[in-house]
Structure 1
Amino acid sequence: MKKFAVLFAILGLASTATAEGDAVKGQQAATACAACHGADGNTPLAPNYPKLSGQRANYAEKQLHDFKSGERDNAVMAGQVANLSDEDMANIAAFYASLEPQFAAVPAKYIEQGERLYRAGDKATGIPACAACHGPKGRGLDSAAFAALGGQSPQYTIEQLKAFRDGTRANDANRMMRDIAAKLSDEQMEALAYYMVGLH
C-alpha cells in the first residue's frame, strides 16, 4: 500500500508542477533552439544532442526549469534558458511535444538484449523493466513527467544513463534513474539505447 501512496504522491506533484503550453507560441519561442535541436526537433547536428520531437511536454518543461535552477547542470542550456519565463518554457515544451519524432532501424545485434531489458528488466540484478515508466512504445508518461524514449539518439541516451550512474545528473525523482543506472553495465546501456531508437 505504501508503494502506491508514494507513486500517487509523485504523480500528483509532477502534474501540478507544470502548466499547459501553447504550441504555436512555443514555435516562435523555440527559434534559437533549432540551432542545436533542429527545426523539427530531430537534431541534425550532433548525435549527443537530444531529439526533442515528440517529447512529453511535462518532462521537457521540467528539464527546462531544472536547467534554469541549476538542478540539472549544463552550462550551455543554463545560458539558453536564463531569460525564459515559465510561460515560454511551457510553450516550448508544448511545441516539441506536437512534433513527430524520427525513428531508425535497430541494429540486429541489439534487438534481443535491448528488448528483454526494456520490456522485462533483469530480475537477477534488480533492474526493472523500462516499459513500466516509459511505456510499451517508449512514449513516456506525461502525468508523471517521465520521458519519451522512442527514437532518441543512442549516443545521447548512453551519455545520460552514464551521467545518472556516476551521479553527475541527479534531477530524477527519488533517485529512480540513478538507482537503476547504477545496476546497468556499459553493454546493457548500449543495447537499450540502440533498441529504443526504433521503439514506437
Structure 2
Amino acid sequence: MKLPASLLLAALLAAPVMSSAQQSPQVAPGPADAPAAPTTPKQPVKPDLAQGEQRYTAVCAACHGADGNSGAPANPKLAGQHPQYLVKQLYDFKTGKRPSPIMQGFAAQLSDQEMRNISYWLSTQKPKDGFARDKEAVALGERIWRGGLADRGIAACAGCHSPNGAGIPAVYPRLAGQHADYTVSQLMGFRDGKRPNNVIMHQVAAKMTDREIRAVSDYVAGLR
C-alpha cells in the first residue's frame, strides 16, 4: 500500500541520524598511516681484516710492499700506521683534496668500507726500522725534531709526533723509520702548497729551508 506523501515525510524525519563514524567503517592504519620510525646515524661496519689484506694485495702491494713496508724510498711505508690517518689520506686522494694522479686512480677503486678494511689491516703489520744516512745532518735534524727552531717560530716535531716518532692515534701519523726521501717530498709539498690537505703542516714547513727539511727527514728515518 502506497503511503501518503505527508506520512512518508514524517517517517523520514523521525528516523535516527547516523554519525560520520557510524556511516564509515573503521579501517586499521596502513604503512602510510603509521608513525615514522626514529632514525639513527648509520654506524660504520667493523673492519674486515681478511678483506683488507685481499684488497691491499690487489691494489696497493706493488708499490708499498707485501706487508706495507715499501722498499722504494719514494713510496711511504704504511705498516703500523694509525688507521684513522690512512683512511683520511685515502679519502683525500679520492676526492682530490690531496692531489696525486697515481693515488687518486687507485683510491677511486675503493669504497669507504674497503678503505677502512685496508687501513686497519695495515695497522696490524709490523713496521721495519729505517736508518739515518747523513751523519753531518743528524745533529740539526735532532735539534729541529726535539726542540724546533724558536727564533723562527718552528715548533718541535716531537710535540705532535711524539719523541720516538710514534705519533698520536687518530690525530698525528707515525713517522719513525719512514723513508727520508718520502718525508722530504712531503715537507716540500706542504711548504710549496702542492699538498694542501693540512694547514698546520703548511705553516710549519713554510718556514723551513731545504737543508732543514732534509736534516729532520734523515733524523726521522733513524727513529725507533
TM-score bin (small chain): 0.7 to 0.9
Which of 64, 78, 88 aligns to 1:37? It is 64
1:95-139 deviations in whole A, cap 9, x for unaligned?
111111112232322321111111111101100011111111111
Alpha-carbon separation, structure 2, partners of 1:162 and 1:54: 24
1:9-51 deviations in whole A, cap 9, x for unaligned?
xxxxxxxxx886333321111012000000011112x311111
Structure 1's 23 and 42: CA in aligned 2 closer, same or farther, altered over 3 A?
Answer: same
**Unaligned regions of 5+ residues in structure 1, if any?**
1-17
Structure 1's 56 and 167: CA in aligned 2 closer, same or farther, altered over 3 A?
Answer: same
Structure 1's 149 and 20: CA in aligned 2 closer, same or farther, altered over 3 A?
Answer: farther
Instruction: Kindly report the root-mean-square deviation, in angstroms, between the aligned alpha carbons of the 2 structures.
Output: 1.5
Residue 149 (structure 2) aligns with: 122
Higher relative contact order, chain-length normalized (CA < 8 Å, sep 6+): 1
Alpha-carbon separation, structure 1, partners of 2:51 and 2:114: 8
Which of 162, 166, 170 aligns to 1:139? It is 166
Deviating runs (4+, > 4 A) in structure 1?
Answer: none
Residue 31 (structure 2) aligns with: none
Alpha-carbon separation, structure 1, partners of 2:97 and 2:219: 29
Higher helix share: 1
Residue 204 (structure 2) aligns with: 180
**TM superposition shift of 1:184:** 0.8
Alpha-carbon separation, structure 2, partners of 1:98 and 1:24: 12
Mapped contact 2:145–2:156 kept (Cα < 8 A): yes
Highest CA radius of gyration, 1 or 2? 2
1:134-184 deviations in whole A, cap 9, x for unaligned?
11111111132x111111111010000000001010001xx1000000011
Alpha-carbon separation, structure 2, partners of 1:189 and 1:105: 16
Residue 24 (structure 1) aligns with: 50
After superposing the two structures, state which structure 1 stretch, 105-114 or 30-39, moved more: 105-114
Secondary structure of 1:193's counterpart equals: helix
Alpha-carbon separation, structure 1, partners of 2:90 and 2:205: 22
Mapped contact 1:23–1:98 kept (Cα < 8 A): no
- 1:81 paired to 2:130: no
After superposing the two structures, state which structure 1 stretch, 155-164 or 19-28, moved more: 19-28
- TM-score, with structure 2 as normaliser: 0.76
Residue 12 (structure 1) aligns with: none
Q: Which amino acid aligns with 2:142?
A: E
- TM-score, with structure 1 as normaliser: 0.85
Structure 1's 180 and 92: CA in aligned 2 closer, same or farther, altered over 3 A?
Answer: same
Mapped contact 2:83–2:170 kept (Cα < 8 A): no
The percent identity for this pair of structures is: 43
Alpha-carbon separation, structure 1, partners of 2:50 and 2:202: 35
Secondary structure of 1:30's counterpart equals: helix
**Unaligned regions of 5+ residues in structure 2, if any?**
1-43
Mapped contact 2:177–2:223 kept (Cα < 8 A): yes
